[in-house]
A and B are shown apart, each in its own frame.
Chain A
């Protein structure tokens, strides 16, 4: 019994300690859809969280592998009740659960990644990944010999379609002959199926494999076949050291730090943020040793150009798959048009259905 009493007292002390800490420290919570060890999407967000954790007077915590839906609501509700000041939810399916929780806790700042709904105390954010995809397309277009680029893709939603189009336009900018073949797996993280998808692309003659999936399965397929690959999310070179040319990657750190600082100073307002290369949210992973210097120079120059604000990726003339003009010469697509993109540009082989 004595032991139990001592334990109870200790427990009370610890609890009192955390309550005190909450008064002076800013608590930031993150909700991830997959394990942070996935070297992919959630991993990239968690690297951003670590940048926040490094700030003075801020503590962070995260919950990983949270299914989209009711479980997500429970996790966020739990964070809100524990007195978190800022909550980031990093998957599309968290949007509605977050909206519900946000209405119950008006003093907490809620931020949702990749969605579109907002509230008095809830904003959303995403990154212009298509800019980095365009650059990776330039690398792929320069490295291919068969002029067939394979693209293992998750779901035919605007985010993925936009990425495929930017990749294709990038490839065509350096190699007008390049075509991109798309295989949909309807999975985000299923290494076996995604590897098989990449193999099917290799079977039809693709010699560079790009991916919009979170598992390194496609990278393995390229490595085994002895061809090139473009990663995604984070530097995937460890999975395919001989194949990995580069990867469009996320760098959430600067954005998360900015938001947390704003909340601390009390001047945060919910907004719909879509930062890109200029803000350093998206980037290109280091080039593999096989990428020649002239290609590196060309891509790096283009990157500097986009980062300086000259983003003409989706500026006409742009043709659709049938060859018809979709965006007239000199006309730039608006953000709204880009965010709802549902058609492929010329040079993509596959359907958006």
Chain B
């Protein structure tokens, strides 16, 4: 494999990792507040549909991208109602959200299959795109990829340097203490669920507006589940999520490129790579740190105290 192909592979890794990155950041945001949301896949696909339909009807992909986030928040608010108001089981509610999202998007989106909509095209950043190595890998993508570059440090800053971020982590780690300190657990968890849903919706919209300019049922094809696994791999840290998402994007891009270069390895084995990596990642994560990095109250409902 020549050097040039390697650069192209890394650039493809960034692009195919971006939708997973948005979703992983969304799930990190949610889980930090102590809510486990397994509805990432369903939320993403609804975001993808909302973004596509909006862009097609209004001609504005940017509006589509934004509304995809809003629809993502709406979707996860179902999870919020079940878990934060009625104290329902978070695992069951999340799974239900995934099934609901996939089914609903399939139903509502049937009329949009095979149509095209305006989307985001690559926009090399002046100056930065010319840097050797880094330029072609990181700075010749569409604007949504650049957005994700900014989002990662912002989320990190939010959790480590702001009062609100600290409060959000507190309700995820030790809700009783947070309550004693006068923080509303429910309010902060709602924030985690809604902002998380917004980011997942954006991840879905990346698939229908930038990665392709098409809509189809099951467009997300399991990427939401990979995001759930990546949160554990990333130890709930935005920076490591970037690494994980690009690693997965890279493996997906690599297996296709290996085939294109004419390798004799059977394609069925190559196609297994991303899933093999998922298993390895989870084994590695639990071996290295155990679940010590997870928010202590993750998945546990907090009864409101009056």
Contacts and interface: CB of A to CB of B under 8 A. Distances in A.
B134 interface: no
Interface-centre pick from B12, B221, B261, B263 (highest chain A CB count, 10 A): B261
Contacts of B263: 351
A35 B113 contact: yes
Interface string A30-65: 000011011110010000000000000000000011
B285 interface: no
A64 B271 CA distance: 29
B267 A184 contact: yes
Contacts of A192: 16, 207, 211-212, 219, 221
Given A215-B214, A220-B212, A351 B207 contact: no
A181 B207 contact: no
A349 B113 CA distance: 32
A206 B259 CA distance: 13
Nearest to A151: B260
A238 B116 contact: yes
A193 B12 CA distance: 12
B259 A191 contact: no
Contact of A203 (B16, B221, B260, B267): B260
A350 B259 contact: yes
Contacts of A35: 110, 113-114, 217
A39 B112 CA distance: 11
B5 A203 contact: yes
Contacts of A186: 267-268, 271
A276 interface: no
Interface size class of B (residues with CB under 8 A): 35 or more
B60 interface: no
Contacts of B266: 351, 353
B77 interface: no
Nearest to A206: B260
Interface residues of A, number: 43
A189 B221 CA distance: 10
Interface in B253-283: 253, 256-257, 259-268, 271
Interface string B174-213: 0000000000000000000000000000000001000111
B259 A184 contact: yes
Interface stretch (A96-104, A123-131, A194-202, A310-318): A194-202
Contact of B267 (A40, A199, A215, A353): A353
Nearest to B211: A192
Interface in A318-353: 349-351, 353
A201 B261 CA distance: 8
B68 to A, nearest CB: 16
A215 B5 CA distance: 26
A196 B256 contact: yes
B221 to A, nearest CB: 6
Contact of A193 (B115, B221, B260): B221
B114 A65 contact: no
B28 interface: no
B112 A37 contact: yes
A3 interface: no
A186 B252 CA distance: 13
B9 interface: yes
Nearest to A195: B212
Contacts of B217: 35, 65
B111 interface: yes
A181 B214 contact: no
Interface-centre pick from A35, A192, A216, A351 (highest chain B CB count, 10 A): A192
B253 A196 contact: yes
B114 A200 contact: no
Interface-centre pick from B9, B16, B207, B214 (highest chain A CB count, 10 A): B214
Contacts of B262: 181, 349-350
Contacts of B259: 182-184, 200, 350
B106 interface: yes
Given A35-B217, A203-B8, A196 B113 contact: no
B216 interface: yes
Interface in A66-119: none
A156 interface: yes
A353 B268 contact: yes
Interface in B75-110: 106, 110
A294 to B, nearest CB: 31
A147 interface: no
B265 to A, nearest CB: 8
Contact of B214 (A220, A224, A349): A220
B228 to A, nearest CB: 19
A190 interface: yes
A28 to B, nearest CB: 22
A287 interface: no
B168 to A, nearest CB: 32
A193 B175 CA distance: 42
A189 B8 CA distance: 25
A203 B114 contact: no
A268 interface: no
A196 B115 contact: no
Nearest to B218: A190
A200 B260 contact: yes
Contacts of B212: 191-192, 195, 217, 220
A351 B264 CA distance: 6
Contacts of A353: 266-268
Contacts of B221: 187, 190, 192-193
Contacts of A185: 256
B229 to A, nearest CB: 19
A206 B114 CA distance: 25
13 contacts: A156-B267, A183-B260, A186-B271, A187-B221, A192-B16, A193-B252, A196-B16, A199-B256, A200-B256, A204-B261, A206-B260, A216-B114, A351-B267
Given A181-B260, A196-B253, 10 more contacts: A35-B217, A184-B259, A190-B216, A191-B219, A195-B212, A196-B16, A199-B12, A201-B260, A206-B260, A353-B266
